[in-house]
Amino acid sequence: MALWLVRAGRQGERENLALEKDIVIIGWHELPDLSSVKTRDEMYRILEEHNPEVKKRSLQNQATQVYSFVSEIKKGDLVALPLKQRPLIAFGRITGDYQYREDLPPDAKHTRPVKWLKEIPRSSIDQDLLYSFGAFMTVCRIKRNNAEERILAYLAEKKVKKTEETAEDLMDLGEIALDQIRTYVSQRFKGHKLADLVASVLNTKGYKVRVAPEGPDGGVDILAGSGALGLDSPRLAVQVKSGDLETEIKTVRELQVPWDYPRFCVKS
């Protein structure tokens, strides 16, 4: 059993489709059905044919990633999908072979079926593993620091023994920076302090802000508006949630605010 990282687009543009369809997806929309490819060299030649302007080293890197997705990932392997639109990593188990899906959009035809098991907040995962999940590749195997066993422990909600931190050679520095910001905010701004932080951010954006005192607030923590008195548009109603659990859409819908206030829920 191996643990693989498979991304769903640079901006997470295919992640909702992946979760809805129970698949992992790679791009490379210019490539045909790859079911018959038997070797990495053959994959390289196909990539070279469809991308003649790309340099050899880049093609070799791409061939390794695509070949791993098509042939080296096995049924039963674990897969990690770092989400861009939410601060979570989705974990699943591969349930079948590579499939070229003609029924899906052009940038989502290369797929593997997966059973999604759990979404874990990034703030709950040790930093050394986050470094690995920040590898600057679409597909790669995660092996360092006993990653497979530790992720199985996370999925089973057991205590995880942390090992020495080690970073991958190539990392998405933007993603790692966001992880560190999330961790800092979640540790330093719990409960009502998070509402004060959000209010300060809105102040720097030019809003006049009123923060509800600690205690029952009727579902609204912050009211903010533009203009000298804070009565001009745009106006915002914000509910602030502190903790690791994902906020449901129901929470946003239940905000008790005037109809002309846009509703927002801020989650640490």
Would the pLDDT of 245 be above 60?
A: no
Q: Indicate if 86 and 208 belong to the same structural domain.
A: no
**What mean pLDDT is predicted for residues 116-144?**
89
Q: Which of 118, 117, 146, 122 is nearest to 133 (CA)?
A: 122
- Check pLDDT > 80 for residue 11: yes
210 pLDDT band, cuts 50/70/90, is confident
Q: Are residues 257 and 132 in the same domain?
A: no
Question: How far is it, in rounded angstroms, from Cα 49 to Cα 30?
Answer: 10
- Do residues 161 and 240 share a domain? no
User: Looking at residue 168, what is its pLDDT?
Assistant: 47
Q: How many domains does the chain have?
A: 2
Q: What is the pLDDT of residue 26?
A: 95
Give the residue from 184, 208, 239 where a domain finishes: 184
Say yes or no: 129 and 224 in one domain.
no
The CA distances from residue 220 to 27, 35, 228, 241, in Å, are 41, 53, 22, 11
DSSP letters, 101-115, are -TTS-GGG-EEEEEE
In a shared domain, residues 218 and 162: no
pLDDT for 222 equals: 87
Please tell me the least confidently modeled range out of 146-150, 165-169, 214-218, 234-238.
Answer: 165-169
Backbone angles phi, psi at 79, to 5 degrees: -135, 140
Shared-domain flag, residues 149 and 53: yes
Any idea which of 22-26, 33-37, 244-248 has the lowest mean pLDDT?
244-248
How far, in Å, CA of 181 to CA of 23, rounded? 30
Q: What are phi and psi of 248, to 5 degrees?
A: -85, 155
Q: Give me the pLDDT at residue 102, please.
A: 95
Which of 151, 167, 184 is the endpoint of a domain? Answer: 184
> Is a pLDDT exceeding 50 seen at residue 196?
yes
- Identify the domain containing residue 261 by its residue range: 192-267
In which band, very low, low, confident or very high, does the pLDDT at 4 lie, cut at 50, 70 and 90?
very high
Q: Would you state the pLDDT for residue 44?
A: 97
Give pLDDT, residue 171.
57
* Statement to judge: residues 60 and 145 lie in one domain: yes
- pLDDT tier at 106, thresholds 50, 70, 90: very high
Whole-angstrom distance, CA of residue 14 vs CA of residue 82: 12
Task: Write out pLDDT tens, residues 42-67.
Answer: 999 999 999 999 999 999 999 999 99
Residue 268: exposed, middle, or buried by beta-carbon count in 10 A (0-12, 13-18, 19+)? buried
Do 130 and 257 fall into the same domain? no
In this structure, the answer to whether residues 245 and 113 fall within a common structural domain is: no
The letter for the amino acid at 65 is Q
Calpha distance 89→227 (Å, rounded): 40
Of the candidates 184, 208, 233, which is a domain's last residue? 184
Same domain, 90 and 148: yes
Asked if 67 and 131 sit in the same domain, the reply is yes
| Residue 149 banded pLDDT, cuts 50, 70, 90 | very high
Range 105-132 average pLDDT: 92
C-alpha dihedral over 193, 211, 239, 231, to 10 degrees? -150
Average pLDDT over residues 17-46: 96
- Domain match, 93 and 133 both: yes
Q: Output the six-digit token pair for 161.
A: 């023994």
Tell me if residue 109 falls in helix, strand or coil: coil
Say what the pLDDT of residue 127 is: 86
Domain CATH for 12 = 3.10.590
User: Contact 213/221 with Cβ under 8 angstroms?
Assistant: no
Q: Which two tokens stand for residue 244?
A: 């690791």
Q: What pairing do the DSSP bridges indicate for beta strands 110-121 and 99-100? A: antiparallel
CA-based nearest residue to 135, from 175, 179, 99, 86: 175
